[in-house]
Amino acid sequence: MRKLILLFAAIAAIVLTSGLFTAAEKIVGGPFVVGVTGKAARVAWIVKEDEVSLRTVAGNAVTSPSLRVQATSFTDLQPNTRYEYNVGLLGESGKGSFKTAPADAQPFRFLVYGDNRTRHDVHRQVVSQILKHGIPDLVLQTGDMVEDGNNSAQWPVFFQIENELLRQTAFFPALGNHERNTHYFEDIFHEGAPYYSFDWGNAHFTVIDSDIANISRHEREQSIFWNEQTRWLEEDLLANQKADFRFVMAHHPPFTAVASRQGNNQHMTALTPMFEKYHVSAAFFGHDHNYQHFFKNGIHYVTTGGGGAPLYDVSKPPEGITLKAVRIEHFVSVSVDGKTARFQAIAIDGRTIEEFQIEAR
User: Between the CA of residue 282 and those of 230, 351, 361, what are the distances in Å?
Assistant: 18, 23, 12
pLDDT by residue for the chain (361 residues), tens only, comes to: 444 434 543 444 344 333 444 445 788 998 999 999 999 999 999 998 888 878 777 777 778 888 999 999 999 999 999 999 998 767 788 899 999 999 999 999 999 999 999 999 999 999 999 999 999 999 999 999 999 999 999 999 999 999 999 999 999 999 999 999 999 999 999 988 999 999 999 999 999 999 999 999 999 999 999 999 999 999 999 999 999 999 999 999 999 999 999 989 999 999 999 999 999 999 999 999 999 999 999 999 999 999 999 999 999 999 999 999 999 999 999 999 999 999 999 999 999 999 999 999 8
Beta strands in 56-107 (DSSP E): 61-74, 82-86, 95-99
Provide the domain count of the chain: 2
Number of Cβ atoms within 10 Å of the Cβ of 297: 9
Together in a domain, 49 and 132: no
Residue 207 φ/ψ, nearest 5 degrees? -115, 120
Tell me: do 314 and 299 sit in the same domain. yes
Of 284, 258, 287, 289, the residue nearest 343 (C-alpha) = 284
Residues in the chain: 361
DSSP letter at 77? Answer: P
On whether both 111 and 59 belong to a single domain, the answer is: no
Identify any residues that bridge with 196 across adjacent strands, giving them in sequence order: 207
Output the CA–CA distances (angstroms, integers) from residue 93 to 98, 240, 291, 293, in the order listed: 15, 39, 34, 38
State which amino acid sits at residue 314.
Answer: V
pLDDT at res. 35: 96
Distances (CA, A) of 202 to 176, 215, 267: 27, 33, 29
Statement to judge: residues 50 and 116 lie in one domain: no
CA distance 50 to 52: 7
Question: Residues 6 or more apart from 284 whose CB is under 8 A from it?
Answer: 112, 140, 142, 247, 248, 249, 250, 302, 303, 304, 332
Label the pairing between strands 340-347 and 352-359. Answer: antiparallel
Query: What pLDDT, on the 0 to 100 scale, is given for residue 24?
Result: 54
pLDDT for res 5:
34
Distance, C-alpha 75 to centroid of its chain: 22
Residues 207 and 116 in one domain: yes
Of the three residues 98, 131, 152, the one that is the final residue of a domain is 98
Long-range contacts of 273-276 (CB under 8 A, 24+ apart): 274/230, 274/233, 274/234, 274/237, 275/237, 275/248, 275/299
Q: Which of 98, 125, 146 is the last residue of a domain?
A: 98
Does residue 119 share a domain with residue 41?
A: no
Report the chain's terminal Cα–Cα distance, integer Å: 33
Rounded to two decimals, the pTM is: 0.91
For residues 54 and 62, the answer to whether their CB atoms sit within 8 Å is yes
Listed residue (249, 267, 265, 261) closest to 290, CA to CA: 261
One domain, residues 275 and 288: yes
Q: Are strands 138-141 and 170-173 parallel, antiparallel or unpaired?
A: parallel
What are the residues facing 121 on neighbouring strands?
none
Q: Domain ends where: 67, 98, 129?
A: 98
Are 346 and 331 a contacting pair, CB within 8 Å?
A: yes
Regarding whether 155 and 70 lie in a shared domain, the answer is no
Query: Same domain, yes or no, for 147 and 73?
Result: no
Q: 351 CB contacts (<8 Å, ≥6 apart)?
A: none
Domain range for 6 is 1-98
Please report the pLDDT score of residue 64 as a whole number: 82
The angle that helices 154-166 and 120-132 make with each other, rounded to 10 degrees, is 10
Report the CATH number at residue 225. Answer: 3.60.21.10
Which phi and psi angles does 304 have, rounded to 5°? -125, 85
At residue 65, the pLDDT reads 86
**C-alpha pair distances (Å), 309 with each of 120, 124, 147, 201:** 8, 12, 9, 32
Q: Report the C-alpha gap between 219 and 200 in whole angstroms.
A: 36
Do residues 51 and 2 share a domain?
Answer: yes
| 29 and 121 both lie in a single domain | no
Q: Comparing C-alpha atoms, which of 12, 98, 10, 87 is closest to residue 46?
A: 87
94, 113: one domain:
no
